[in-house]
Chains A and B, each alone.
Chain A
Amino acid sequence: MSDQIAATPRVGRRATRGGPRAWLRPLVPYLLVAPSAVFLAFFLFWPAVKAFLIAFQTAGGAFTFANLQAMVHDTDFGLSVRNTFVLLAIIIPLEFAIALAMAVLAQSRLRGRGFFLYVWSFPLAISDLAAGLVWFSIFTSHGYLNSALQDAHIIGRPIGFLDYTNVPGLIVAVVAAETWRSISLVMVVIMSGIQAIPSELGEAASILGASAWRRFTKVTLPLLKPTLQVGLMLRTTTAFQVFAVVLALTGSGLPVLATKTATWAHGARNYQMAAAYAVLLLLLSSLVTIAYLTLLRTPREVFQR
């Protein structure tokens, strides 16, 4: 049994040992993994496939584009697509820039670093609904932002940030809430990437004459590319699905793909439309992910070991 020194995983096949149920041994890892694999297949992969089926089928089971057509002609279709992308285009760069700064700050030897990290991490455990409600209290017309602005005599009467007609206002509110909620995630991802960079690289660069800024751009950032890639993929996928924040802040004032899916499924019980929206969301999300993968490729030689 211990013919192999096992700090490393053991091979599933034992050539040396016979005995009862020896035929079982090579199967053990598969048996251990099987329940999870089946569970995931049933609850994650199969529904994803089924969504396509629902979206592309009529009630009778025939293949059709009708649902997609209906979706495109849906009242807020264009609006929801546009809003989703606008939010994405603003939130992602903003979050990553700030999170990079936060990660760099968190890495430096400031006193109270532990406290800072604790406070900066807590949005990780906040649900997006809670985030939406929290920022609702700020942006609502009799909320804290208007109160503060009016107290400071910057405005004479409350600004309707969350008015149905004030689309820029709605977008600003959602961006603020979403950024606040999920920036910790991005920060944590970036931090773990930074920590994997040996500190001697920075020292070598500094003794070769690089200033702090150049050390950051020429050493840290390039070596962060794989981490950024993962982070971007993670964050974009979740950003495409922004839902509860939008609901809490705007009701139905700012349609996005996820809210459309929910209204069609939950409200109107029209599962074909809902599936169509879901499929669209998945496709768009995948396209953007592939774009990242191509744009942020690092040559294999850099990291192979």
Chain B
Amino acid sequence: MTTAVATRTATAARGRRRVEPGRLLLYGCAILVTLFMLTPVYLIALAALSPAQAIFDYPHPLIPTGISLDNIQFFLTFQGIVPALVRSLIVGGLTVVLSLLLGCPAGYALARYWFRGKDLLQLMLVNVRAIPMVIIAVPLLVTFIELNLDDSVISVALVHAAITLPLTILISASVFVRVPAELEEAAMSLGAGRLGAVLRVVLPNSVPGLATAALFAFVTSWNEVFVAVILTLRNTTLPAALVQQLQESPVGFRFAGGLCLTIPAFVFIFFMRPYLFNAFGVGGR
């Protein structure tokens, strides 16, 4: 396409050992964007890892003067933070389990069967993302209060599962579609029942894709703020705990919290890279 042609020509130019100004410009832009992406992370790392006293230095040096874990330590030992972290992990885990348990059968149905309402279902799954979290959080809080489930890890996990379910269904459907139905039929012709064929043939061949779905569900749950804030008071997840402390907390606390929330992202993205497009399910049609 446009730049593909421009740079194919440019790539060929490399064989003649000449650098086109066009390519320099492209590289320059790419580097600028990269700087824009990375600089804030560098800065918060700098801020979080500076000695506690350095907070009050002004102007801040842009190069580290000394590394200190003061802020991180303060953050982690602050009351309620570690339990909140643990709760985030639990909620994340529950979300993944629920999402997969509910989503995989539905995804399988989408992949293998035609049924009335299938198109409508797919349309709804894609569009359900349009329902703002903001509008469901308050009524759910009211419901949970009525059910005596408010301010609990379960309540948050249930809502997170609902938030991640559509995507899990869509991803698992696309994963199952890629496992040829003939494999199941071969298994059944050799004596396996329908369920056995699925368990023995389809699932083992779907692990990478399902792992991605699980990862996406976990990351979504880990990062989710609004619903967690609304639904919990004492049994907060990590983001909700941070929000509660936000206004009164010292600046160093916020920096450390920011850094701790950011670092896992690098790890997540590293594993998610191959499947990024799948997750957003968008094509040019």
Chain A residues near B (Cβ < 8 Å): 1-2, 6-7, 9-12, 28-30, 32-33, 35-37, 39-40, 42-48, 50-51, 53-54, 98, 101-102, 104-105, 107-110, 112, 116-130, 133-138, 140, 142-144, 146-148, 150-151, 158, 180, 185, 188-189, 191-199, 201-203, 206, 212, 215-216, 219-220, 223-224, 226-227, 230-231, 233-234, 237, 240-241, 243-244, 247-248, 251, 257-258, 261-262, 265-266, 271, 274-275, 277-279, 281-282, 285-286, 289, 303
Contacts and interface: CB of A to CB of B under 8 A. Distances in A.
B284 A32 contact: no
A130 B219 CA distance: 13
Contact of A44 (B60, B106, B136, B258): B136
A34 B27 CA distance: 51
A50 B144 CA distance: 13
A278 B161 contact: no
A133 B269 contact: no
Given A51-B138, A123-B37, 15 more contacts: A9-B113, A28-B109, A44-B136, A44-B162, A47-B135, A105-B29, A110-B23, A121-B273, A130-B261, A134-B43, A136-B258, A147-B58, A206-B5, A244-B243, A266-B230
B41 to A, nearest CB: 7
Nearest to A103: B3
B92 interface: no
B1 A197 contact: yes
In the A-B complex, the 10 residue pairs with the smallest Cβ-Cβ separation, listed nearest first, are A133-B258, A196-B284, A127-B223, A43-B162, A6-B181, A130-B261, A147-B59, A125-B265, A50-B139, A202-B1
Contact of B165 (A7, A39, A198): A39
Nearest to B225: A244
Given A47-B136, A271-B138, A147 B261 contact: no
B240 to A, nearest CB: 9
B106 A33 contact: yes
Contact of A33 (B56, B109, B247, B261): B109
A48 B135 contact: yes
Contact of A278 (B103, B113, B134): B134
A277 B273 CA distance: 37
A117 B33 CA distance: 11
A124 B138 contact: no
Q: Which has the most chain A C-beta neighbours within 10 Å: B108, B135, B273?
A: B135
B138 A261 contact: yes
B283 A192 contact: yes
29 contacts: A2-B185, A6-B112, A11-B114, A28-B113, A32-B108, A35-B102, A36-B102, A40-B162, A43-B161, A48-B135, A51-B135, A101-B29, A110-B26, A123-B37, A125-B219, A125-B272, A127-B224, A134-B44, A134-B258, A142-B60, A158-B58, A180-B37, A194-B284, A197-B1, A197-B284, A248-B246, A265-B137, A278-B132, A282-B135
Contacts of B223: 125-130
Given A109-B7, A257-B134, A29 B44 contact: no
A33 B107 CA distance: 8
B193 to A, nearest CB: 12
Interface stretch (B78-86, B204-212, B274-282): B274-282
B269 A212 contact: no
Main SS of chain B's interface residues? helix
A86 B18 CA distance: 47
Interface string B148-162: 000000000011011
Contacts of A282: 131-132, 134-135
Nearest to A277: B134
A7 B180 contact: yes
Interface string B190-218: 00000000000000000000000000000
B243 A193 contact: no
Contact of A143 (B60, B133, B219): B60
Contacts of A118: 269-270, 273
A129 B33 contact: no
